[in-house]
Structure 1
Amino acid sequence: MKPDDRIRVMEIIARMNVGGSATQVAGLCERLNPDEFDHRLYTGHVDGGEGDHLRLRDTAIPVHHIPGLGRSIRPIDDYRALLRLVRAMRAFRPHIIHTWTTKAGALGRVAARASGVGAARIHAFHGHQLHAHVPGLRRRVYVRAERLLAPMTDRLVTVGAQVRDDLLAAGIGRPEQYVVIPPGVRLGPLPTRAAAREALGLPLDAPVVAYVGRLKKMKRPDRFAEVAAEVLERVPGCRFVVCGSGALKEDMERAVMPMWDSFRLLGWRRDVETVYAAADVVLLTGDNEGTAVSLVEAGMAGVPVVATRVGSVAEIVQDRRTGLLAGPDVEELAGHTVQVLLDPGLARRMGEAARRWTTRAFGVDRLVADTEALYRSLRGAARAGVGSR
């Protein structure tokens, strides 16, 4: 394919902070066929205190920075970001505009309509804000905005069927607009268990439970601390590793202070593979998840998972085969964790099944193939504006 004939794709995400959306975007930026796609990333800056995915993973992805496109909502800055996106679209003339995250999805789709470039529009939902823990006003505003934006979109991509069904139940979009594309992940080489334990300062023979992710309300790190306390009652020598940071970092530190000697708070690390290699169980305790990348990574590392049965988690963790699922109950989560820790045979079987399953279903090459097929199918969908339909 001649360079002038390539499909021009404009990827827009608010910020490339550590998380599922940034992992997917980075995988696409690194792997899309450059002979077929002219693929460009437009993003804001990562806020202080958040892990920067591009820096932590040491990638060399070219980035077009859009000031004001970051996390914070500031009307003047947001308006300027909107104008910058319009100018960028008119200069690049993309065939496809693919937006990620709530703010970038809103600004990107409005800019696409205002620019008049006639690109096909895709918005990706890694999760949503429909659950009860989200304040009522914020949830209502979110639903209203996404209902208004859906008619301005050709395809709504979700990481799992449950996320799609939740959005449809809220009146967002039409069934025929939706495409489910599960996440795609690539995990680096794993160190040996002994080397990983030594690197993290963990005893070689201690049971280890790991948490990998942002420390924010939705992830319920407070519940993780409560589960840890229950586990320690039954497995006194257990160690807990927390890889991540966020707004609730200080709250987490206070919560685990009575168990301080049993915890390692690592912050963000480039070598997340080391954390998985050191762990016997990965524990997820959140109230809401799209398709948690940490659970995919754990599976690829051969580590069984204990997780809350929320969002599309059950589409990653096969209950009683690759891990154990529970309700948001501390006692149940602790019981499942202890069961895996005290039964090495069960842990080994689940870990091996998890590695086979996640490697087959959630590899980055599968993500890229699915996304390339979607882009090809939409190249002919460019139009002057959705409202003209």
Structure 2
Amino acid sequence: MKPDSRIRVMEIIARMNVGGPATQVLGLSKGLNSEEFDHRLYIGHVGDAEGDHLRLRDAAVPVHRVRGLGRSISPANDVRAFFQLVRAMREFRPHIVHTRTAKAGALGRTAALMSGVGAARIHVFHGHLLHGYFSPAKLRLYIRTERALASMSDRLVTVGAQVRDELLAAGIGRREQYVVIPPGVRLGPVPGREAARAELGLPQDAPVVAYVGRLTRIKRPDRFLEVADAVLRRIPGCRFVVCGDGELRQELEQGIGFAPNSFHLLGWRKDVETVYSAADVVLMTADNEGTPLTLVEAGMAGTPAVSTRVGSIAEIVRDGHTGLLAATDAAELAEHVVRLLSDSGLSRRMGEAAREWTTGAFGVERLVSDTQALYRSLRGASKHRLV
């Protein structure tokens, strides 16, 4: 197609931290057909502790910083970001405005409406904030806000069917607005177990459990420590690797005092495949999730997972086949971890099944194909001609 006939896509996200939404954005930035789509990224700011600087080095499309489009709600900054987005839309004149994360979704969709450019509006729910984030009063406000924003959206995308169903149950949007597009990942070369452990300074013969993700309240690093304590009582030589950072890092550092030599705090690492390869089990302890890429990547590396059964995790981890799921209960999670660490045959079979399943279902090529099809389907929803 000629450059001036491309579909112009303005993608807006509040933060490019080390997490699922940013990974999806980067996968699309590299995979979308540049002859068909003019894809530009508009982002806010986060601190280096969240890995923003690591992600932006990998962006394959023009990146525009939006002042004020950060994580926290701030009336002055939000107004500044809103008007900057309106100006950017009037300059770029996108056919599609594609928003991710709650704050960017609110500002971006409202700006698209007020800018007058007539763009079709897509918002992605990478999870939802219905459980574990807000007080009852704030939750009611969030639901009312998302209901209103859904009314000005052409499509609502969720990363899993369970996430869609829970949003619908809350009265957010109509079923015909929803499209389920699971995440897509391309994992880097996975080193051998021996090399991975040598790189991370781990003993070759110790059982290893890995936690990969942000150290934030909803992820429940405190529950991770409870599980670790229970596992160490039965398998004293076990090592626990934490790959991530966040506002609860100091609490975690204080919490490992009962067995400091059993824990390895790595901070953010770009080579997460090294962590997965070094681990016998990947452990997720969150109260709420969408379809966490940690579990997709672990599966691609051939490492079985133990996780809480929340959000759409059951659509990634096939319980009893590629890993083990539990309630949000440290004792049950610990039992599952001990079971896998104590049965190498079971662990190996689950890891192999996880690799086969995740590689086929969650490849980045499928994500790109699904998203391009969604963009094409919205040609008629744009209120100005695609020229």
- TM-score, normalised via structure 1 length: 0.97
How many residue pairs align between the two structures?
384
Contact 1:56 1:270 in 2 (8 A): no
Q: CA-to-partner distance for each residue in 1:191-250, whole Å, 9 max, x for gaps? A: 111111111110001000000000001000000000000000111110000000001101
The equivalent of 2:308 in structure 1 is 308
Q: CA deviation at 1:258?
A: 1.2
Specify whether residues 198 and 59 from structure 1 end up closer, same or farther in structure 2 by C-alpha distance, changes over 3 A only: farther
The equivalent of 2:51 in structure 1 is 51
Contact 1:18 1:53 in 2 (8 A): no
Q: CA-to-partner distance for each residue in 1:91-141, whole Å, 9 max, x for gaps? A: 111111000000000000010001000010000000111115532222112
Unaligned runs of 5+ in 1: 385-389
SS in 1 for 2:378: helix
The equivalent of 1:243 in structure 2 is 243
Q: Partners in 2 of 1:50 and 1:117 — Cα distance? A: 33
Contact 2:14 2:43 in 1 (8 A): yes
Contact 2:12 2:98 in 1 (8 A): yes
Q: CA deviation at 1:49?
A: 2.3
The equivalent of 1:77 in structure 2 is 77
Specify whether residues 53 and 33 from structure 1 end up closer, same or farther in structure 2 by C-alpha distance, changes over 3 A only: farther
Q: Partners in 1 of 2:294 and 2:18 — Cα distance? A: 11
The equivalent of 1:156 in structure 2 is 156
Q: Partners in 1 of 2:5 and 2:247 — Cα distance? A: 45
User: Would you say 1:88 and 2:103 are equivalent positions?
Assistant: no
Q: CA deviation at 1:346?
A: 0.3
Q: CA deviation at 1:60?
A: 5.0
Q: CA deviation at 1:58?
A: 4.4
Q: Partners in 2 of 1:209 and 1:366 — Cα distance? A: 30
Letter of the 1:267 counterpart: G
Q: Partners in 1 of 2:307 and 2:57 — Cα distance? A: 26
Q: Please show how residues 135-284 of structure 1 align to structure 2 within 5 Å.
A: 135-284=135-284
Q: CA deviation at 1:273?
A: 1.1
Letter of the 2:246 counterpart: G
Q: Partners in 2 of 1:305 and 1:62 — Cα distance? A: 36
Q: Partners in 2 of 1:57 and 1:334 — Cα distance? A: 38
Q: CA-to-partner distance for each residue in 1:140-190, whole Å, 9 max, x for gaps? A: 121111011011000000000010001000010000000000000111001
Contact 1:7 1:37 in 2 (8 A): yes
SS in 1 for 2:302: coil
The equivalent of 2:346 in structure 1 is 346
SS in 1 for 2:240: strand
SS in 2 for 1:49: helix
Specify whether residues 260 and 287 from structure 1 end up closer, same or farther in structure 2 by C-alpha distance, changes over 3 A only: same
Specify whether residues 317 and 239 from structure 1 end up closer, same or farther in structure 2 by C-alpha distance, changes over 3 A only: same
User: Would you say 1:363 and 2:358 are equivalent positions?
Assistant: no
Unaligned runs of 5+ in 2: none
Q: Partners in 1 of 2:197 and 2:366 — Cα distance? A: 32
Letter of the 1:285 counterpart: T
Contact 2:132 2:218 in 1 (8 A): no
Q: Partners in 2 of 1:82 and 1:289 — Cα distance? A: 28
The equivalent of 1:30 in structure 2 is 30
Q: Partners in 2 of 1:169 and 1:55 — Cα distance? A: 34
Letter of the 1:260 counterpart: P
- TM-score, normalised via structure 2 length: 0.97
Contact 1:22 1:53 in 2 (8 A): no
The equivalent of 1:319 in structure 2 is 319
User: Would you say 1:20 and 2:24 are equivalent positions?
Assistant: no
Specify whether residues 133 and 121 from structure 1 end up closer, same or farther in structure 2 by C-alpha distance, changes over 3 A only: closer
Q: CA deviation at 1:77?
A: 1.2
Contact 2:210 2:242 in 1 (8 A): yes
Contact 2:40 2:61 in 1 (8 A): no
Letter of the 2:238 counterpart: C
C-alpha RMSD of matched pairs (Å): 1.2
